[in-house]
Amino acid sequence: MKPDRIEARRFYPLIVLLHGAGERGNDNQRQLKYLAQQMAQSPWQEKYPCFLLAPQCPRNMNWSSPACAADSPDDNDQNLLDQIHQMILDISRKYPIDKRRIYITGYSMGGFGTWSMIARYPELFAAAVPICGGGNTNTVSGFVHLPIWVAHGTRDEIVPVTSSRDMVDAFCKAGGNPIYQELEGIKHDSWTPTYAIDGGMFAWLFQQRKK
């Protein structure tokens, strides 16, 4: 997605959106919901003009799955996150994207993917928003400098809230300073209230710039 209006000599933020397990496939359509639909609406475009990249994860895979089959002669230990990294580099060369304002967010399986992506490429992003996900607590020291906003519903029946609590706790112990929201009474869909509020997370996100 591109901004409604691209002004000459102006550079725009890029949001990388990693969807959940329910949007996997190969139609390049199922993942275009929730935040992707929201950011395409005129009021959001007017207030938060940006590019948005929404890749689709193939069926029966997750964001950290190998990019090539195990027996492929092209297997070089790349996974899907490496392919997304290359996509980000490609579109950043093609379009007027502010490389100091590349953001990543994801929900559920995409929340796990977000934690994994910032561990793999900690210097690429200006901020990250993993929602109802989790990750490897041993990786947090590599991105302790990164502004992070974490959200999780207290009644999540799919990904337990302890998954985010553990990452946040490890991140804080390593010296990080995340914003952590536990959404009281919310089940798995903690992305809708997190994304839908004009202000809050979005006001914070668009203020973040790499130094």
How many angstroms separate the CA atoms of 6 and 104, rounded? Answer: 21
Amino acid, single-letter form, for residue 28: N
Amino acid, single-letter form, for residue 198: D
Mean pLDDT, to the nearest integer, of 85-96?
A: 97
pLDDT of residue 78: 86
pLDDT of residue 12: 97
Query: Using an 8 Å Cβ cutoff, are 89 and 39 in contact?
Result: no
Candidates 103, 114, 124; CA nearest to 171 is: 114
CB atoms within 10 A of CB 93: 9
Residue % of the chain over a pLDDT of 70: 96
The strands making up 97-107's β-sheet, listed across from edge to edge, are 51-53, 12-18, 97-107, 127-131, 149-153, 179-183
pLDDT surpassing 70 at residue 74: no
Mean pLDDT, to the nearest integer, of 125-133?
A: 98
Candidates 88, 16, 19; CA nearest to 57 is: 19
CB atoms within 10 A of CB 125: 23
pLDDT of residue 75: 52
Is pTM beyond 0.85? Reply is yes
Tokens of 165: 């609590």
pLDDT surpassing 60 at residue 72: no
pLDDT of residue 146: 98
Amino acid, single-letter form, for residue 136: N
Q: List domains and CATH numbers for the chain.
A: 12-66+79-205 (3.40.50.1820)
pLDDT surpassing 80 at residue 77: no
CB atoms within 10 A of CB 187: 13
pLDDT in tens, 2-34: 999 999 999 999 999 999 999 999 999 989 989
Confidence of residue 197 (pLDDT cuts 50, 70, 90): confident
